[in-house]
Structure 1
């Protein structure tokens, strides 16, 4: 029978933490060294979040582990499952049922770390689990993975996929990394940061964060608001004839601009870096919701250099490899505005001097040197055209701010 476990930090500093074991006959503490094993610390955080797992059944408890238990007069078979696993990792052993590395999959087996050789790679799990379990934006927002029913795949990218799920009788969208045996630590870490960023945002024109779910870092899942109407690009393709600037499009444009105003007003400002019509979803009432903050960064972030985003929506200075600023988002907004007007993808009408359709390379080259900008239809209201032209200025300094953009669209 397993006992109860109370995880707590000791007074010796944050590198050390203890599991206080309350068994049937005694209460003892096992001190674990967080600098020895990040996985032991991960298990500690799981216990601190009131998580639990089944006990291990080992054919033989390693001598090093048994000697630590003997000193405290503790019985291995009476330790809770999380404490058993943490003690193994902290004592220099790896347990491969919960935390696999490379091709190791044998359950209930412990091997000393040197046995992993080149195949063992630190997953950075300590940092990731600490973020998931202690972030102020994620506290109380964990959803049991078994409460999600994956119904239908919506989209699939290079590293992630989005599904429609049923959660407590409600349709939600669930984003997760592609399902595979193992993920690169940096991919999981970036996704965890995306989840935290989404959880920190609260605005009527940004897709609402519902919760986060996982049973291991391989199935980390972000649960967000679901929009049956789909994204702006697809909606325009199917329903362009039903929309007008006066009734629908202006409200969509203002909604996206207000989302940018909110993002750029954070401290430090948050730059989306991949604003495009596919990343604007629509409610049944055609309210615009900006989504996908997978490559978003604060302006002070050291990784704010070029090379990300979707090319046709990317500002010329970013195509040249210069540093991201809020003005890059403003350019992307101008491109989205042209899509709203024409219901066509950017630069759909650009042709070479010989009349042939231009290839993406030629288009981006013209954008970089400032000789090509997104086009607007003859029916476009002059005020909207002026806003679009201002947003797509080649010189970033000449583009409006998000706040002034909102005012311009509202006719102020």
Structure 2
């Protein structure tokens, strides 16, 4: 039995060491796996000499924000209730924190990654037609004319003009839309234009998500359109009016996710990122991290040599534990086998009269063997108690030591059957108790979000996730995108908003941003 227990102990210790090493390698490999796209490589920054004017003909809001930054303007930081996982994953390879970026760059990063801010300060996701850039969502005057809607024409201070929608139904407007917006909470519909192509070249555009919902009195039909507005709510003119003595603004209509057919949703995808924005972000990298990154790139390897220190220490600790356990076990067994003054010998030598006859020698040998076996089992019991793993104390009431009161002489039919001590019974209760308390709270919160998606969809997560070629995505690719924060379990279209909001909070890529159990109860309670 000692020989069987020793390999199990060694295997357990080696498994712990391997798990530590694997976690270190995975942590060091994640940035290398995600730092591959052209967008993360960087490109030349825009300049004021470029043929670019923010006049409503383009939705390149990120470029306009950078030009205002280059002109010396500053704005307050924009801090949504939770930072989107894709934004965090985009910053992770660059070792940059979202909180350390200036307000203009924060707005540009959110927009370029496909997010706008709702009235409740949530980051609302946008998918674009064919996965196009967020700079190509503006609806031109020609495209608007094809919808059959009428337009309102207004003048601007630079003697130019802009247009806004006048008479237009929801389906007509959406025929020109190039984006799909996730659902968000809004107290009321805004009485504003849902399409406009104006713009001030010197303005700092906002990225507001606005709900447009109304009922047509003539047909009694209800319409719902989401839109991105770039002017503050206080400055934007009401529907059907012009901005007197001022400029218009860019308004981009989008499909609402909850009220859109699956055919339209199928042609929408996450927007492609702008490479030059990475160059802007790199300006805010920490000096030490930038130095280490440049050294790694010059060596042609993304592995940090400092990670060898915990790897070596983990290996040495595992080897020391194995050596100490094996040495202590052998030392005790050797002392037992070489001990001649056993309790059985003392008991037999102290008797005044000994039985005579042919049974004397076999009985004496059986007594010696029984005593030696009992001593060995007691030693193994002490060894097991010494090396008991954490959590085994809970099971102490169920594990009993072998009784030393074995029959000194076994009957003949039982001489070929080895007695099995009860200590070999698997301590399932202790293992279960240890397993229930082993997961960190942040992993339990993420698992709760997965449970919500399974209860909502009645399907396993990612069961129908497709790759770029239309085939079912491989498990390794799904795992990689989940680790990078680019993929997470999805909910059905009929999922209640508060369940969707709670699940989105559970899936935050940064564990620190995930809610606590009390906060989840508040979210689910509405």
Tell me if TM exceeds 0.5: no
Q: Which has the larger radius of gyration?
A: 2
Larger relative strand fraction: 1
More contact order relative to length (CA 8 Å, sep ≥ 6)? 2
Larger relative helix fraction: 2
Q: TM-score, normalised by structure 1?
A: 0.31
Q: TM-score, normalised by structure 2?
A: 0.25
